[in-house]
Amino acid sequence: MKVCKFGGTSMADAGQISKVMDIVLADPARRMVVVSAPGKRNKGDTKVTDLLIALAEAALAKKDTTKPLKAVIDRYAAIAEGLDLGNEIVAEIRKDLKDRLASSKKDEGVFMDTMKAAGEDNSAKITAVAFRKRGVKCRYANPGDTGMILEGESGNATLVEESYRKLARTFADFEGIVVYPGFFGHRKDGTVATFPRGGSDITGSILAAALRADVYENFTDVDNVYPVDPRIVPEVDEGIDTMTYREMRELAYAGFGVFNDEAIAPAVQGRIPINVRNTNRPSEPGTMIVQSRRVMPGTVTGIACANGFANIIIDKFLMNRKIGFTRRVLDILEEEGVAYEHIPSGIDSISVLIKEAGVPLAKEKKVVARIKRELQPDSVLVTHDYGIVMVVGEGMAFSAGMLAKATGALAEHGINISMVNQGASEISFMLGIKSEDCISAVRALYNAFFNHHRQ
C-alpha cells in the first residue's frame, strides 16, 4: 500500500486535480491520498491557505468578511465547475466556512487554525466527490474522527504519540480509496490545531508510518529534489536520485522548501522510503529518500541556505576552565522560553544562534542582560540578519579538503564567513554569513561542487 500526498500546486485547479486522480488510479496500491489546500495556479496567484488567513484576520478585526470569504469560495466553485461536480458540494463548503467564521474567537490561535484547516478539509471533500463521480469507491476521512491527535501551540502543533496506534486501528482494514486532508488535526479537547506551514507533508509521513506503507509518495511540482533550490540556481538540471533521511533532514532544515523538515521523523521511525515526484510528469522516477545509500567519497549532495537568525556571541577568557558556563547560558535560555538552533563554540567563546522570528527583541535584550549580570562574561555581542549555509553529503564524511574548497569558493566571491560548525556526524558543515550574502554563497558553492563544465 502506498500513501500519496499531493501539494498545493497539484490541487490548484480542476485540471490539476484530474491529473491527481489519474495518478492515483494508475496504481491500485495508491489508496491513502493526502491532499493540500489548492495552491497557486500561476505566479501571481494566492494560495487558498493565504486567502483563509486573510479571511480569519478580517473576522478577528471585526471587518466585513464578504469579499475575502467570496475569494475562498470562488476557488472551490471553479474546481467544482471544472470537474462538473454540481452545486451541492459548493453549498456544503460555503456552509462549512460560515460555521467556522461563526465559531469562538476567544482563543485567536485556535480560531486562526480552524480557518486555516478549512483549506485542506474542503480540498479533501471535493476530491472525494470527484473520485466518486468517476465511479471510484472513495471516501473522505476526518482527522478528528480517525485519530490524528495533536498538541501544543496553534500553528505549530505536534503529534501525540498515541495517534500512530489510533490511526493504525482506524485504517487496519479499509476498502477503496481514502482522501485525507493534510496540515491539521485535533487536540484532545476537540479544538483544531495545524502543523507549521507546509505541514501537509507531515500528515502524509505520519499516515505512511502508522499504516506501514511500502512507500510515501510526495507529489509536487518538480521532477526531483535538486542539489540546490532551483529558484536560487535556475540552471540546475541534474536532480538527486537517492538521498538519505539525514541528508534531507539537514537540507530541509536549512531551506529546501520542497519537503517539510518535520516530515522526516515519522518516515524514519517507520522506516518508510519517501519518493518525491512530479504531478505534472508522473513518468519521472523522482527522488528516493531512504535510510542508507552507497556513497562516493568526496561528494556533496546538496547546498541550502536559511536566513533570519540572530547570533549571540559570548566571550570569556578561560571559558574552558569555567565548569558549567555553557549550561548556565542554556538555563537562562530555557527559563526565558527561548529555543536555540545551534551553539557553536570556541575555546573562550560560544555563539548561540536563535531564530529572529521566534524571539521578540525585548526578550532577546532580557536574555543578554541576564547573561551579562549572572555570568559576567568579557563581552556579549548580538549580530542580526545572520544567515547559515549548509553543505551536506554522506560522501563528505572522512573526506579531506571539502571545507577548504567551500571556504575558498566563498573567499573568491568576497563573502566573509563568521562561523564554521561541523557536526560530529561529519555529513555536513554549516557556515555563518550575512543574510544578504546567502544567495551568492549558494551560487558560489554550487559552482565549486557541481558545475564541472565551468572548470
Footprint on this chain of ligand ASP (rule: CB under 6 A): 7-8, 36-37, 47, 49, 119, 182-183, 197-201
Query: Quick one: which of 38, 181, 182, 198 contacts Mg ion (CB under 5 A)?
Result: 198
In 3-state terms, what secondary structure has residue 166?
helix
State which of positions 5-24 bind ligand ADP (CB under 6 A).
Answer: 7-10
Instruction: Please count the residues of this chain forming the interface with Mg ion, following the rule CB under 5 A.
Output: 2
Please, what is the minimum distance in Å from the beta carbon of residue 279 to ligand ASP? 13
Q: Between 198 and 395, name the residue whose CB sits nearer to ligand ADP.
A: 198
Check residue 266 for interaction with ligand ADP (CB under 6 A): no
Please, what is the minimum distance in Å from the beta carbon of residue 201 to Mg ion? 6
Residues 6+ apart with CB under 8 A from 401: 298
State which of positions 179-198 bind ligand ADP (CB under 6 A).
Answer: 198
Among residues 441, 8, 2, the alpha carbon closest in space to that of 260 is found at: 8
- The item of Mg ion, ligand ASP, ligand ADP, none sharing an interface with residue 230, based on CB under 5 to 8 Å by kind, is ligand ADP
Q: Between 304 and 402, name the residue whose CB sits nearer to ligand ADP.
A: 304
Site string for ligand ADP, 37-56 (x = CB under 6 A): --x-----------------
Q: Between 198 and 270, name the residue whose CB sits nearer to ligand ASP.
A: 198
Q: Are 343 and 319 a contacting pair, CB within 8 Å?
A: no
Query: Quick one: which of 82, 155, 196, 230 contacts ligand ADP (CB under 6 A)?
Result: 230
Please, what is the minimum distance in Å from the beta carbon of residue 223 to ligand ADP? 9
124 CB-contact burial (10 Å; exposed 0-12 / middle 13-18 / buried 19+): buried
> What is the CA angle 207-196-230, rounded to 5?
90
**Whole-angstrom Cα distance, residue 214 to residue 378?**
56
C-alpha cell of residue 320? 574552558
CA dist 27 to 31, 34, 49, 177, Å?
9, 16, 30, 11
CA dist 26 to 21, 108, 283, 356, Å?
8, 43, 11, 45
Give the footprint of Mg ion on this chain (CB under 5 A): 7, 198
Give the footprint of ligand ADP on this chain (CB under 6 A): 7-10, 36, 39, 198, 220-222, 225-226, 228-231, 256-258
